[in-house]
């Protein structure tokens, strides 16, 4: 009786473990994690374009720095992704620089 | 006698050549359904396909300018993107939507280029690679434009009013493509003085332009001046495609529709 119960518990535990792995997906590979990281950083940087005018000079300068830091990672992507995201990043960065310049001009 | 005739003929020829060189050849005004049409021919010839014919009117009715020119990454100049079939097959550029999966009006949008195109795909290829081909389109411009408010030039449509009336609803965000954006800081409209006597001021609809284009589509690539009033825009430059001309000579209402920009009432 005890033996059967033991086998049942082992099976249930195993099944539960297997299900949770399937439910949460395979652990991400280092490359996948890196990919997700650059994408997340890209989205965070470029999500501020709509309210760029309301950002402070410091915030704008930080966004420009983050865009510059992200560029080498984007340069490593495959040809298509590189072309698309370098173009998009260039536009975001260009806008922040433009707004920063206009804010500096306002102060003069 | 012969010599005099020769000189006279030579003079006439020189005069005619000079006249032609000065006036150039008059451009044909595009028909309403042709306005905004873009012919893309970067790599088509390499694959024995016709150049791609892209109809702006179909796409602008469904998406804001920003979705395509910022989020998807299409350049603002014809051929400037350098789209390759592999880019589309990987799900970028045209392939972002034309992937055989994305739905539009209850139908899957046909897939653009595929990695393993066969002779059987020819019919699908020429839906886009259609210059000089007889291709039946799913969209009929006249049927589409019938309920929309009319204008005089360009596509003959008032796109802005059509949106206000809810007749078109351009999508401003593509899930998985567009970055999640913070709330749009609406910009105030402002007036510009053309400094030409009798010419009404330009009321620039900054708000409308921001909603459709976002900020980064225009600044700094198209409008780089950082201080209002420091940049000078001439109609010659604009007609050559600079500043406002980047869109208003190609897709948005054309320059001959003067009073749509020079719109400030002259009489109080």
Domain ranges of chain B: 29-181, 182-268
Considering the domain boundaries, does residue A24 fall inside one?
A: no
Mean of pLDDT values over A33-61: 91
Residue A72 lies in domain: 29-107
Look at residue B58 and give its three-state secondary structure. helix
We find that the CATH architecture of domain B29-181 is Alpha-Beta Complex (3.90)
Tell me which of 3.90.10.10, 3.50.50.60, 3.40.50.2300, 3.40.462.10 is the CATH number of domain B182-268. 3.90.10.10
- Report yes or no: A33 at the B interface, CB cutoff 8 Å: no
Count of domains in chain A? 1
Considering the domain boundaries, does residue A84 fall inside one?
A: yes
Q: Is the Cα dihedral B56, B57, B59, B60 positive or negative?
A: positive
pLDDT digits (tens, 9 = 90+) for B187-232: 888 888 888 888 999 999 999 999 999 999 999 999 988 777 778 8
Considering the domain boundaries, does residue A51 fall inside one?
A: yes
Write out chain A residues lying below 8 Å of B216, CB-based: 49, 91-92, 94-95
Task: Report the chain B residue with the minimal C-alpha distance to residue A42.
Answer: B179
This prediction has a pTM of: 0.83
- How far is the C-alpha of A42 from the C-alpha of B250, rounded, in Å? 31
Q: How confident is the model at residue B29 (pLDDT cuts 50, 70, 90)?
A: confident
Q: How confident is the model at residue A25 (pLDDT cuts 50, 70, 90)?
A: very low
Considering the domain boundaries, does residue A1 fall inside one?
A: no
Mean of pLDDT values over B146-163: 97
Considering the domain boundaries, does residue A92 fall inside one?
A: yes
Task: Indicate yes or no: CB of A50 within 8 angstroms of CB of B220.
Answer: no
How many angstroms separate the CA of residue A92 from the nearest CA in chain B? 6
Residue A48 · residue A99 · CB < 8 Å: no
Considering the domain boundaries, does residue A57 fall inside one?
A: yes
Task: Indicate yes or no: CB of A47 within 8 angstroms of CB of B182.
Answer: yes
Task: Indicate yes or no: CB of B226 within 8 angstroms of CB of A97.
Answer: no
Task: Indicate yes or no: CB of B183 within 8 angstroms of CB of A51.
Answer: yes
Considering the domain boundaries, does residue A14 fall inside one?
A: no
pLDDT of residue A14 exceeding 70, the answer is no
- Report yes or no: B73 at the A interface, CB cutoff 8 Å: yes
Of A55 and B120, the structure prediction assigns the larger pLDDT to A55
Fold: same for B29-181 and B182-268: yes
Residue A38 · residue A70 · CB < 8 Å: yes
Task: Indicate yes or no: CB of A47 within 8 angstroms of CB of B181.
Answer: yes
């Amino acid at each position: 009786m005890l033996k059967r119960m033991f086998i049942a518990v082992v099976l249930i535990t195993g099944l539960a473990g297997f299900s949770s792995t399937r439910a949460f997906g395979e652990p991400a590979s280092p490359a996948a994690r890196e990919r997700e990281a650059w994408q997340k950083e890209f989205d965070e940087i470029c999500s501020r374009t709509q309210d760029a005018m309301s950002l402070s000079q410091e915030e704008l300068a930080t966004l420009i720095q983050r865009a510059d830091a992200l560029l080498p990672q984007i340069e490593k992507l495959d040809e298509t992704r590189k072309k698309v995201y370098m173009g998009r990043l260039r536009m975001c960065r260009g806008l922040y620089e433009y707004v920063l310049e206009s804010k500096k001009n306002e102060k003069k | 006698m012969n010599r005099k005739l020769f000189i006279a003929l030579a003079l006439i020829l020189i005069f005619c050549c000079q006249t032609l060189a000065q006036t150039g050849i008059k451009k044909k005004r595009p028909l309403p359904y042709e306005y905004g049409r873009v012919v893309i021919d970067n790599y088509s010839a390499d694959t024995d396909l016709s150049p791609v014919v892209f109809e702006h009117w179909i796409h602008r009715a469904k998406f804001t300018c920003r979705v395509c020119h910022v989020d998807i990454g299409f350049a603002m100049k014809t051929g400037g993107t350098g789209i390759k079939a592999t880019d589309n097959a990987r799900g970028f550029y045209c392939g972002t939507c034309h992937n055989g999966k994305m739905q539009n009006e209850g139908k899957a949008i046909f897939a653009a280029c595929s990695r393993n195109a066969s002779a059987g795909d020819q019919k699908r290829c020429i839906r886009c690679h259609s210059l000089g081909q007889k291709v039946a389109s799913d969209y009929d411009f006249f049927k589409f434009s019938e309920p929309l408010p009319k204008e005089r030039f360009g596509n003959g449509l008032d796109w802005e009013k059509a949106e206000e009336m809810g007749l078109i609803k351009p999508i401003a965000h593509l899930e998985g493509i567009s970055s999640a954006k913070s709330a749009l800081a609406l910009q105030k409209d402002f007036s510009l003085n053309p400094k030409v006597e009798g010419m009404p001021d330009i009321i620039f609809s900054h708000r409308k332009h921001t909603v459709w284009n976002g900020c980064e589509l225009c600044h700094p690539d198209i409008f780089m001046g950082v201080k209002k009033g420091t940049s000078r825009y001439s109609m010659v430059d604009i007609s050559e495609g600079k500043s406002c001309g980047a869109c208003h000579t190609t897709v948005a209402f054309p320059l001959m529709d003067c009073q749509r920009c020079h719109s400030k009432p002259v009489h109080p």
